[in-house]
Amino acid sequence: GENVEQHPSTLSVQEGDSAVIKCTYSDSASNYFPWYKQELGKRPQLIIDIRSNVGEKKDQRIAVTLNKTAKHFSLHITETQPEDSAVYFCAASHQAGTALIFGKGTTLSVSS
């Protein structure tokens, strides 16, 4: 089955810096790669996703890149703000709408 590895487990940055979180996956049949943000005590919420026919996707300060050959995908957050502090999870599945397998999460701390 699918296995998703995520690094780093914790990340501390200064406000305004960029943050990068990286994931690798094992199942070459995976084609859908979402990123979720989970604030303390709340449910995970989708922030951005990418499908295998796209190499990069951007939404304001957030971007995701995908390298299917290397089975890598990454989340990039620019101009970080204190409200970006949360746990971020990457995930993978064969297609959107099917069960997701999650990475172990990255706790991002943005200090002002």
Partner 1 sequence: SAVISQKPSRDICQRGTSLTIQCQVDSQVTMMFWYRQQPGQSLTLIATANQGSEATYESGFVIDKFPISRPNLTFSTLTVSNMSPEDSSIYLCSVAQQGTGELFFGEGSRLTVL
Q: Is 83 in the site for partner 1 (CB under 8 A)?
A: no
Which parts of 23-82 interact with partner 1 (CB under 8 A)? Answer: 32, 34, 42-46, 49
Of 104, 102, 95, whose CA–CA distance to 30 is shortest?
95
| Closer CB to partner 1, 18 or 98, in the complex | 98
Instruction: Give the number of other Cβ atoms within 10 Å of residue 51's Cβ.
Output: 13
The rounded distance, in Å, linking the Cα atoms of 72 and 6 is 10
Which two tokens mark 48? 């951005």
Q: Which of 25, 33, 35, 89 binds partner 1 (CB under 8 A)?
A: 89
Q: Which of 64, 103, 108, 110 binds partner 1 (CB under 8 A)?
A: 103
Q: Is 100 in the site for partner 1 (CB under 8 A)?
A: yes
Residues in the chain: 112
Residue 59 Cβ vs partner 1, minimum distance, rounded to whole Å: 14
The rounded distance, in Å, linking the Cα atoms of 108 and 40 is 12
Site residues (vs partner 1, CB under 8 A): 1, 32, 34, 42-46, 49, 89, 95-105
